[in-house]
Structure formats: C-alpha cells, structure tokens
Amino acid sequence: MSDNGKLLDVQHVTVEFHIGGLLGGTLLTAVNDISFSLDNDKPEILTLAGESGSGKTTLSRLLLRDLEPTRGKVLFEGRDLSTIRNRSEFKEFMKKVQPVFQNPFETFNPLRRVDAYLFDTAMNFGIAKTRRDAAEVVDAALRNVGLSLDEVRQRYPHELSGGQIQRVSVARALISKPKLILADEPVSMVDASLRMEIVNLFQKLRDEQKVSVIYITHDLATAYYISDRIGIMLRGYVVESGPVEDVLERPVHPYTQLLKESVPDPAPKERETWAKHIALGTTEVKEYGRIGCKFAGRCPHVMDVCRKADPPDVQVGNQTVKCYLYTEQGTKAAAGTPN
Ligand SMILES: Nc1ncnc2c1ncn2[C@@H]1O[C@H](COP(=O)(O)OP(=O)(O)OP(=O)(O)O)[C@@H](O)[C@H]1O
Ligand SMILES: [Mg+2]
C-alpha cells in the first residue's frame, strides 16, 4: 500500500457523540471535518491548541485508534486505522505511535517501581529478549530524556520529582522507537518552571531521533517555542492553522486573536501568564449546537452570514482560516456595503 510520503494522513474526520439521554438527546460534533497530514521524511512538532472542550483529546483518541471516527478516516503510513483488526497488528501500530499523558502520577502505579514499567514495555513489545538486553534499551531511552537507569532503578513514582516522572513517561514512550508521539497536555501537571525543560525534549527527539510530535495544549507559550505548525481548535473545528510564528504573531481569526489577547505579555519571563485556561461552562454545549460559526456569539466582528452556515476555509497569507471576514462578504462588510 502506498503511503504517498505521508506518516499520518487525517482525512475529513468527524466524531459525533450522543448526549443528553436516550430519548430526545442531541448530537455533539466533538471533531468536525478535520484534515491534516504529517510527512514521512520531515519530522515536525504540530501543536493543537484551544480552550477546554474544543475537541483536542477526542481528536488524539482517533489518532491512537482509541475511537473510530463517525465519518472520515485516519491513515498511518498509508494504512487506514479502521483496517487494524487483531492484537498483533495493533501492537505493531502502537510501537510506532506512542502516547504521553497529562498526569504521570496516574500513568504509574504508586506501588510499583517505575523501572518495572520500562522493562515490561521493552519485553512486551519484543524490543528486548532478555533482561540484560532490556536494561540496555531502557537505559538508552532514559538517556534520551536526560536520565539513566541508575538514577531511576528501584525507585517508586513518589520518589521522583514531577519533572523527572514526566521525563520517565516520555522515555517509556520512546522504548519502541516510535515515529509519532501524541502528547496530550503533557506539562499541565508539571510545575511551570519545569515545563520548558520537558517540552524542549520534544524538539530534541524531532531533531535527533526523527520523531514527529503532536503536542496538545492550552499553553500558547510552550507551543510558540517548540512547534513548527499549529492548529487552533474551537468547538470541533480547526479555525486557524499554519506555521506557528505566523499564527501566533499575526493571528487572523478573531478567536486566535482573543486567545492571544488573553496573554498579557508574551515576553519570555512573563510567559507563564500565557497558560490561560478559559473555562466556559454551559457556553460550551451552546456553542457546539450553534448553526454557522461557533464563535459568532463571542466575535467582535460578527456579521449576519456568520450565523447562517459554516464559514469556508480561506487562505490568508501562510494561514488557513475558517472565517467569513476574509471572504467576499467580509470584504464588502468592511467597505460598508451591505452583505
Ligand atoms: N465520550 C464522550 N461522550 C460525550 N461527549 C464527549 C465524550 N468525550 C468528549 N465529549 C465532549 O466533546 C467535547 C470535546 O471534548 P474533548 O475532551 O475532546 O475536549 P478537549 O479540547 O480535550 O478539552 P480539555 O482541554 O478540557 O481537555 C466536550 O464538550 C466533551 O464534553
Ligand atoms: Mg483534553
């Protein structure tokens, strides 16, 4: 099967959840017609950012084949994930696509030594046949994240710092020599002062191990420093995407502009304030159910047309933007002509 040079090819994926009970429930489209791809020979860090409840985790579950799309498909190295049928095929897939989760203290059982997990991973994936081989594999993975087997041997999770344990979980993900790491909020539980240290690892892995990373976050600061590309998510849609410098320095979608404005000062020493989590409560479900642009209720530039149908994707400079402002209607409205 040809992979067309693509490591990952996400084609028009949509996920619908039934919410609100069996009778009279409603459909929530948590991921709405999203497409993007990663090249085989150009490892990169792609960030998916957006406020809480924008569909980031649902999208990452599709990529881990933890969830089947309602429509559309995900191809990894040219293979449609829905054709993975048995455990051994799934294991082969998981060797190449590895997750790193939000809370390392949940990933590791407090009563089990952390090195035991690493040894198990090496043996279960068939990377090592003997414990001696496994020790080598585990040590090499730990060295990639600035640790060593000697440092973590016989240690329990609580005997390691938050930063160290998250580095161990990145090392665990590296044991099978994956081509893609999916990191869902990997630093949100880590002390702010240690975040850059962990996310910098992703750049090192991209450059030295040729691993691509999909980095999911609320934190535009770390995203800005480590990503190549970024997609801004809003209620199931990617509303703006492109090279990270363009999107975050010159955002064109009013929603990205709002996210950026919620960051008072992007200077490095102030960057902690970039990590803004905007909780919206009931606004969330209301916005998901909205006809037309999901941002219409909060957008300072809203026009009549925005409430009628989904905005199209428009190319503005280096960015792809889902917004009427950059269509003919928007240009006319800006010039004072009624739309
Ligand atoms: N299994 C499910 N059943 C019903 N609704 C779901 C399910 N999983 C997620 N949702 C809903 O889909 C929407 C997107 O959720 P998702 O967890 O993907 O968002 P997120 O961007 O990861 O949010 P956060 O930043 O808080 O982690 C939310 O409104 C959520 O309540
Ligand atoms: Mg999430």
In three-state secondary structure terms, 30 is: strand
Mean pLDDT value of segment 26-40? 95
Q: Ligand 1 pocket: which of 17, 101, 187, 284 to mutate (most atoms <8 Å of CB)?
A: 17
Q: What is the sign of the dihedral through the CA atoms of 255, 258, 262 and 268?
A: positive
In three-state secondary structure terms, 120 is: helix
CA 54 to ligand 1: nearest atom: 21
- Exposure of 98 in the CB half-sphere (CA atoms within 13 A): 18
Angle of CA points 10, 15, 21, to nearest 5° = 170
Hey, what domains does the chain have and what are their CATH numbers?
Answer: 6-289 (3.40.50.300)
pLDDT at position 189 is: 81
Mean pLDDT value of segment 235-246? 97
Q: What is the pLDDT of residues 279-331, one digit of tens each?
A: 344 566 778 888 999 999 989 999 999 999 999 999 999 999 999 999 988 88
> What distance in angstroms lies between residue 39's CA and the mean position of ligand 1's atoms?
28
Q: Ligand 1 pocket: which of 51, 58, 70, 216 to mutate (most atoms <8 Å of CB)?
A: 58
pLDDT at position 193 is: 79
pLDDT at position 280 is: 43
CA 288 to ligand 1: nearest atom: 29
pLDDT at position 274 is: 40
For residue 105, pLDDT beyond 80: no
Q: Which helix (H) or strand (E) holds 286?
A: helix 283-289
- Of 40 and 194, the one with more pLDDT: 40
Average pLDDT, the chain: 89
Q: Whose CA is nearest to atom 30 of ligand 1?
A: 53
> What distance in angstroms lies between residue 55's CA and the mean position of ligand 1's atoms?
6
Q: What percent of the chain has pLDDT above 90?
A: 71
What the block records as the tokens of 15 is: 């996920």
Q: Whose CA is nearest to atom 24 of ligand 1?
A: 52
